[in-house]
Amino acid sequence: MWFFTEEQNQLKEVCRDFAHKELKPKAEHHDNHETFNIDAFKKMGELGVLGITAGTEFGGAGLGSLEATIVMEEFGKVCASSTLSYLAHSMLCVNNMDKNASKEQKQKYLPKLISGEHIGCMGMSEPGYGSDAVGLQTKATLSGDEYSITGNKMWITNAQFADISYIYARTGKDKKNISTFIIENDSPGFSVSKEIHKMGMRASPTGELTLENVKVPLSNRVGKEGDSVYHMMKNLDLERITISGISLGIAQACVDQCIQYAKERSQFGKPIGNFQLIQKMIADMSAETEMMRRFLYSACKEYDEGQGGNALAAQVKLVIPRMVTKIALDAIQLHGGYGYSREFPVERYLRDNKLMEIGAGTNEVMIMIIAKNLLKDCLVK
């Protein structure tokens, strides 16, 4: 991007090199076997990106959404699954903790999360509460100097490997009386009750968490009781912007793969890149990808400067994953029968990207947010 600093361009190169060395060679294997590339994940700590938006006091890089999105794009080009696990750790757990936890809590948990010694996850969605996240039913009851937490959390990325969970729970009758707790996953009553097998993002572990009277000390509550809805919504904006970087990476991977295939594949005695329909498909895909890149990084810049609100995050999250699904479908079409097989990676790109239209808020929820902002003066309450 034209406005990237020298440091941001260097970050891009470093992450690209890491992705090609540590993620790409094993991406197909981990997708086929539904296994987690934990070795590469740990090395992300050595690379210095697991706390990319966290403050430097506890080992973070102190950077913004733009730099985080650079990492998402470069990692996402080669292994979207590993990148999703990276996002769940660095954006949903580490960033949340850095922005909202006390100094004592940060001192206790952030260094190991940022170094990669510990893996983090975040528990918001529940079996019956996805889009209606504020309706969650997990309950935390205070008795003396500790809480007892009971409930279930669904669709939790990194669940099976996490050491630390950043959990939202209801602490009062009012719908918005929600609090946050830092839970050590070896606590009695805490378990991964179900491993979830998915269409895409198969190398990113996903599970259901069960909490049965899990005892959590008062000192592990983040902020004031009943004060977490604002924190939840604020972090969702960051998640929606940065997760779109994974889709952008998938789009670029589709373009690169199609260019390579158009040069190597021959029909009627010449490379298929000679045919105008193939040229049109690749040209459209490339132009759409560049348009998304400029939109996304401009949105990151606005967000980091305090100008982007939830409507902008929703627009990014709606438009980019939806367009990348189209690009992935076009990439499969261009590859013909091979595109429908696992011999080429384009079918994985499609499967992985479809999650982006569901996770961090579905397309339909994004439309609701955008419309609410545009039509707020006329909506009946």
Q: Which residues are catalytic?
A: 239
CB atoms within 10 A of CB 197: 8
Cα(30)–Cα(53) distance, integer angstroms: 28
- 36 and 161 in contact (C-beta within 8 Å)? yes
- 78 and 28 in contact (C-beta within 8 Å)? no
Rounded to 5°, the CA angle 99-247-242 comes to 10
**Residues, the chain, total?**
381
CA distances from 316 to 145, 147, 219, 297 (A): 43, 38, 37, 10
Backbone angles phi, psi at 143, to 5 degrees: -140, 110
- Per-residue tokens: 182: 């830092």
Nearest to 23 by CA among 81, 62, 67: 81
DSSP state of 188: T
Rounded to 5°, the CA angle 202-203-206 comes to 70
Spell out a b/e string for 301-332, using b for 16 or more CB atoms within 10 Å of the CB, else e.
bbbbeeebebbbbbbbbbbbbebbbebbbbbb
What would you report as the CA-atom Rg of the chain, rounded to the nearest whole angstrom?
A: 21
